């Protein structure tokens, strides 16, 4: 299963991907987690990315593509993957298409978790208090939501035009949301024959 999870920051992509990975038997690949690991490790790339991330902006497409290409080349990704946080703009969606065509692993499904902005702001405030992520402070969350609307929302349209997008309600009990996603994946598989 090769799946992209789309959705605004705080829409629950990471939480749901972590739940789905065991059931689907594929790794959860979060570009945000990979960048945070690079920051924590103090690599040159991490140092460069940190200021951009803390400001709620997007890290450069080149860095992201290189990182993703290396990750998808690892053994565990041969069985498939759940991509969380990539692609975040149209250039990345194109780059992903080309990369997956090159390695002969086209996407099976794209799921967008839909959560209203007011709920997102509340969830990020809770995460900010619990985890202390600098980019979860309320001002930065508003900036990230604006970037999402401007740059990432068109990615959902890009997949919708190809009949690949399924929109799932991301509000409610975690178990219910997981069930909705699995149902959407089954619908996709049935439609693909
Ligand atoms: P996330 O954990 O997915 O919300 O990502 C946290 C931060 O990492 C984002 O606000 C961006 O600064 C950066 N980031 C993660 N994924 C990407 C991406 N695909 N393109 C650019 N920046 C990214």
Structural domains in the chain, CATH included, are 2-30+80-192 (3.40.50.300)
- Listed residue (177, 4, 185, 190) closest to 80, CA to CA: 4
pLDDT at position 67: 96
Average pLDDT over residues 127-155: 94
**CA 35 / ligand 1 centre spacing (Å):** 8
115/3 Cα distance (integer angstroms): 19
- What does pTM read for this prediction? 0.95
pLDDT digits (tens, 9 = 90+) for 8-27: 999 999 999 999 999 999 99
pLDDT digits (tens, 9 = 90+) for 20-60: 999 999 999 999 999 999 999 999 999 999 999 999 999 99
Please give the biggest Cα pair distance in the chain. Answer: 47
> How far does the chain reach from its first CA to its final CA, in angstroms?
14
Give yes or no for residue 139 having a pLDDT over 80: yes
pLDDT at position 190: 87
Model confidence at 7, pLDDT cuts 50, 70, 90, reads: very high
Pocket test for ligand 1, best of 6, 32, 120, 123 (most atoms within 8 A of CB): 32
64 Cβ below 6 A of ligand 1: yes
Give yes or no for residue 193 having a pLDDT over 80: no
Q: Which residues, including other chains, have CB under 8 Å from residue 174's CB and lie 6 or more apart?
A: 12, 15, 16, 19
pLDDT at position 6: 98
**CA 190 / ligand 1 centre spacing (Å):** 32
84/9 Cα distance (integer angstroms): 10
More confident residue, 188 or 173: 173
Write out 66-126 in H/E/C secondary structure.
Answer: HHHHHHHCCHHHHHCEEEECCCCCHHHHHHHHHHHHHCCCCCCEEEEEECCHHHHHHHHHH
Residue 177 β-bridge partners: none
Contact 16, 4 (CB under 8 A): no
Pocket test for ligand 1, best of 6, 88, 139 (most atoms within 8 A of CB): 88
pLDDT at position 192: 81
7 Cβ below 6 A of ligand 1: no
182/4 Cα distance (integer angstroms): 13
Average pLDDT over residues 138-144: 94
Model confidence at 188, pLDDT cuts 50, 70, 90, reads: confident
pLDDT digits (tens, 9 = 90+) for 84-103: 999 999 999 999 999 999 99
- Listed residue (99, 31, 102) closest to 69, CA to CA: 99
Residues in the chain: 193
């Amino acid at each position: 299963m090769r799946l992209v999870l789309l959705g605004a920051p705080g829409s629950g992509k990471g939480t749901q991907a972590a739940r789905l990975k065991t059931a689907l038997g594929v790794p959860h690949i979060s570009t945000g987690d990979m960048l945070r690991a690079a920051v924590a490790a103090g690599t040159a790339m991490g140092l460069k990315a940190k200021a951009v991330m803390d400001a709620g902006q997007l890290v450069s497409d080149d860095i992201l593509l290189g990182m993703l290409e290396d990750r998808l080349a690892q053994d565990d990704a041969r069985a498939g993957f759940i991509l969380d946080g990539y692609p975040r703009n149209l250039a990345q969606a194109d780059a992903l298409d080309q990369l997956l065509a090159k390695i002969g692993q086209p996407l099976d499904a794209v799921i967008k978790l839909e959560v209203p902005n007011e709920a997102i702001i509340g969830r990020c405030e809770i995460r900010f208090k619990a985890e202390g992520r600098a980019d979860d402070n309320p001002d930065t969350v508003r900036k990230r939501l604006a970037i999402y609307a401007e740059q990432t929302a068109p990615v959902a349209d890009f997949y919708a035009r190809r009949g690949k997008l399924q929109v799932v309600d991301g509000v409610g009990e975690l178990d219910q949301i997981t069930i909705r996603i699995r149902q959407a994946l089954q619908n996709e598989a049935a439609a693909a024959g």
